[in-house]
Amino acid sequence: MNMVVKIRSLVLPVLMSLGFVFSSACNAESEQTRLLKQRNAEFNKEIIRVSDRVYTAVGYGVSPVSMIVGAKGLIIVDTGISVESAKAIRADFRKIVDKPVKAIVFTHGHPDHIKGGAAFMDTPDVQVWARTDFGHEQHSLAEAGISIQKRRGAMQAGFLLSAEQRINNGIAKAYWPKRKGGVFAVDKSIAPSHIFDTDRQTITIAGIDLELVAATGETHDQLYVWLPSDRVAFAGDNFYKSWPNLYAIRGTPYRDIRSWANAIDSVLQEQPNAVVGGHTRPILGKKRVKETLTNFRDAIQFLFDKTVEGINKGLTPNQLVEYVQLPKKYRDLDYLRPYYGNPQWAIRAIFGGYLGWFDGNATSLFPLSDKQEAERIVALAGGMEATVKQVDNAMRTEDYQWAAQLCDHILAITPNHQQAMLYKADALTALADKILTATARNYYISSAIQLRKKSQKISLSQEP
């Protein structure tokens, strides 16, 4: 084996574990990385007074937890990612008002919004409200026997990364789960005691009048909470300050993007003075809320409509991501930058959600296997050695996507080709620095770490 490759395979994983990130270019910090670091200010730990009766805790975990103060007690909207962080919030809420919790409302069933529930169960009779099909996304995958989203979710979230390698999650601070199965495992903590299955449910608890509104979007069980007295909306994960995660790369059933836009419109129709999103800091002020939610809704609707227009022209998913371009007025808004979700992923999801896997090109009906195609590509390049040289050229010219794709062809033929593994690891690391979407960045670097570890393992197995 080439001595340089062997040394790289032994040394790089050790350096990576210490927080070093490599690319062949070794460029200065990119604008995308700078913006992601700047985003950390969004997650500063603080309790924000949203209105006379509403306080929202941000920065304790990865999602806001809100307290609504009533004459006879409190209602909590979402409870955070862990009991540990929720206990800290509960203690700080008590410093503001020392009243018992009478009810909890879950905006949806994602564990990062409900796992802290036990910290707010002041008494066994606390009402826990949610919408019908609570936890639909996780349970539908589990019932089908699909568990890969847990591993992909860990890569998307950056759980494999060191503190030095990880910046944030785009809409939340860096967090490492302590429980088996990670954040995206099926949650088995506090179950709802009250379920509503209508479009709108009015409840009165602790002297507080609330409206729970069905709002299918990121999940089928999504709702928003409307507090009419203070004109505050709690939007759940249908809104946060980023391009929304209309498709999650960990893998989810199709998210109804039309319904998502309609859900934002429904919140707009309430004419709120403040909106608390499922992540990031609340938006305060009627004018600012209206402008923000209007742009958020319209950008989602534009992308959906333009994608459908392209679909009806016969465009394939690859062609659609070139055809569908967000207008500049949306791209220039910080709260619509792709910190978490990415428009290209949404475009592909819309195509697949409505038309399935077939892109309409007859050649795609029965394609060559990855290995068969790779063998032909390598032959066109002039053989394996010539293909490796093409990878090296691509790396030198910073054509990292092409370098990674060429490495995939090599690895399809020779799965343990160490030089291709290390080239691909470098290419993915370089791509990570050029992408604003934190989930993509985390996935790139996680994949690079795994490739370097695999190369190291092969080297150790070959030692005499």
pLDDT of residue 18: 37
Task: Give CA separation, 406 vs 260, 370, 393, in Å.
Answer: 38, 12, 11
Q: How far apart are CA 185 and CA 183, in angstroms?
A: 6
- Cβ-contact 323, 315 below 8 angstroms: yes
- DSSP letter for each residue of 129-179: EEETTTTHHHHHHHHTT--HHHHHHHHHHTTTS-TTT----SSS------S
Q: Is the pTM of this model over 0.75?
A: yes
Half-sphere exposure of 83 (CA within 13 A, CB side): 8
Q: How far apart are CA 21 and CA 432, in angstroms?
A: 10
pLDDT of residue 115: 95
In the chain (464 residues long), the average pLDDT of successive 10-residue segments reads: 43 42 57 95 97 98 97 97 96 98 97 96 97 91 92 94 93 82 53 97 97 97 98 98 97 96 98 98 98 98 98 98 98 97 98 98 98 98 98 98 98 98 98 97 98 95 80
Tokens of 239: 């809104």
Name the CATH code of domain 44-355 (choices 3.40.50.300, 3.30.70.2190, 3.60.15.30, 1.20.1730.10): 3.60.15.30
Residue bearing tokens 């995958």 = 141
Residue bearing tokens 């979710």 = 153
Name the CATH code of domain 3-36+368-462 (choices 1.10.10.10, 1.10.3210.10, 1.20.1250.20, 1.25.40.880): 1.25.40.880
What lies within 8 Å, CB to CB, of 166 at 6+ separation is: 158, 174, 442
pLDDT of residue 179: 56
What lies within 8 Å, CB to CB, of 401 at 6+ separation is: 427, 431
Segments making up each domain of the chain, as ranges: 3-36+368-462, 44-355
- Going by C-alpha positions, the residue among 409, 358, 357 that lies closest to residue 381 is 409
- Going by C-alpha positions, the residue among 265, 212, 211 that lies closest to residue 238 is 265
The answer to whether the 3-36+368-462 and 44-355 domains have the same CATH topology is no
Q: Give the phi and the psi of residue 211 in degrees, each rounded to 5.
A: -120, 125
pLDDT of residue 463: 77
| 3-class SS of residue 210 | strand
